[in-house]
Amino acid sequence: MPATSSPRPPRPTLAEQFPAPDSLSEIARRLAERYLPTPPTPRRAAEPTDGLIGTILSQQNTAAITRRQFDALKAAYPRWEAALADGPDGIEAVLKAAGGGLSRVKSAYIFQVLDRLEETRGTLSLKDTREMDDTQVRTLLESLPGVGMKTASCVLLFDLARPAMPVDTHIWRISRRLELTPGHWNAVKVEKWFDEVLARDWQVRYTFHVSAIRHGRETCKAQRPRCEACVLQELCPSAGVFLNA
Ligand code: SF4
């Protein structure tokens, strides 16, 4: 009689492998108090495609350049169908005229996304995502060329008011310094960990995301963090290293 194999035990979740420290809620509270004391109210974009294009433009760009390039695109192409018809060279010319780098890469990226939307859905609008659940929206967005977990999470969080938790380079760095997550985890893994440990609540995640990014820009900078002025100093295992350097 053949031996019956017992079912494999389920893989431990990231939070089981690396449980959130008790200090996480206090860290979140202090960051919110310091950087985002007024609770945010959810906003939904009139057209989530705008949010997706804006997120693509924001990658490796300042907020000011992102806004300028987005406004230039909207002025040149009041409807995204016009950008698709104009093609990558036309989009690139608009981005170049608005200033900022990576116009060639971004224009190709935007064109490919619009082209795929047209090809697979017959529309460039993403308004119907409002009726989808979070998993369906993520699956749709991540099926688009070049759209990864973080970009999809940004659209979910900022344009659809869903409880996503994008992890950018600031949040990734802070998580390592605070030893919330192991130093060898990449940003995608850290994002999955946060998705497991943070309350699935839009306001909680929006507040943590925005305040942690501001903390990374203003205080826990990549070069020379300002630990002496940090509201997390006594909760941070790295503070002593930097303060004594
Ligand atoms: S104490 Fe220093 S290293 Fe730790 S979070 Fe604050 S600024 Fe960053």
pLDDT tens column, 113-138: 999 999 999 999 999 999 999 999 99
State the Cα angle at 208 between 48 and 202, rounded to 5°: 45
Q: Tell me the CA–centroid distance for residue 174 and ligand 1, in Å.
A: 7
CB 211 within 8 A of CB 32: yes
Domain limit, last residue, from 159, 194, 226 = 159
Q: Are residues 85 and 116 in the same domain?
A: yes
Helix (H) or strand (E) holding 90, with range, is helix 80-98
Q: Are residues 213 and 226 in the same domain?
A: yes
Is the distance from the beta carbon of residue 219 to the nearest atom of ligand 1 less than 6 Å?
Answer: yes
Catalytic residue among 74, 96, 127, 150: 150
Q: What pLDDT band is residue 7 in, cutting at 50, 70 and 90?
A: confident
Domain of 64, CATH number, reads 1.10.340.30
Q: Tell me the CA–centroid distance for residue 137 and ligand 1, in Å.
A: 35
Domain limit, last residue, from 119, 143, 159 = 159
pLDDT tens for 31-88 read 999 999 998 999 899 999 999 999 999 998 889 999 999 999 999 999 999 999 999 9
Q: Are residues 70 and 31 in the same domain?
A: no
In a domain, 192, yes or no: yes
User: What is the position in ligand 1's atom list of the atom closest to the CA of 226?
Assistant: 7
- Going by the DSSP 8-state scheme, the letter that residue 10 receives in this structure is P
Distance CA 201, CA 161 (A): 10
Q: Are residues 58 and 126 in the same domain?
A: yes
| pLDDT (0 to 100) of residue 74 | 97
Q: What pLDDT band is residue 110 in, cutting at 50, 70 and 90?
A: very high
| pLDDT (0 to 100) of residue 11 | 87
Among 104, 229, 242, 83, CA closest to 177: 242
In a domain, 6, yes or no: no
Q: Are residues 225 and 168 in the same domain?
A: yes
Mean pLDDT of 9-17: 91
Q: Are residues 81 and 169 in the same domain?
A: no
User: What is the position in ligand 1's atom list of the atom closest to the CA of 231?
Assistant: 6
Write the residue with the smallest CA distance to atom 2 of ligand 1: 227
Q: Are residues 124 and 185 in the same domain?
A: no
pLDDT tens for 192-225 read 999 999 999 999 999 999 999 999 999 999 999 9
Is 127 noted as a catalytic residue in this protein?
Answer: no
| pLDDT (0 to 100) of residue 2 | 55
pLDDT tens for 163-203 read 999 999 999 999 999 999 999 999 999 999 999 999 999 99
Substitution site in 177, 217, 221 for ligand 1 pocket (most atoms within 8 Å of beta carbon):
177
Q: Are residues 94 and 188 in the same domain?
A: no
Rg (CA), the chain: 21
Which structural domain, as residue segments, surrounds residue 24? Answer: 19-41+164-243
Is the distance from the beta carbon of residue 177 to the nearest atom of ligand 1 less than 6 Å?
Answer: yes
Q: Tell me the CA–centroid distance for residue 35 and ligand 1, in Å.
A: 15
Substitution site in 221, 224, 230 for ligand 1 pocket (most atoms within 8 Å of beta carbon):
230
Looking at the 3D structure of the chain, how many domains does it have? 2
Q: Are residues 192 and 126 in the same domain?
A: no
In a domain, 194, yes or no: yes
Q: Are residues 209 and 172 in the same domain?
A: yes
Q: Is the pLDDT of residue 93 over 70?
A: yes
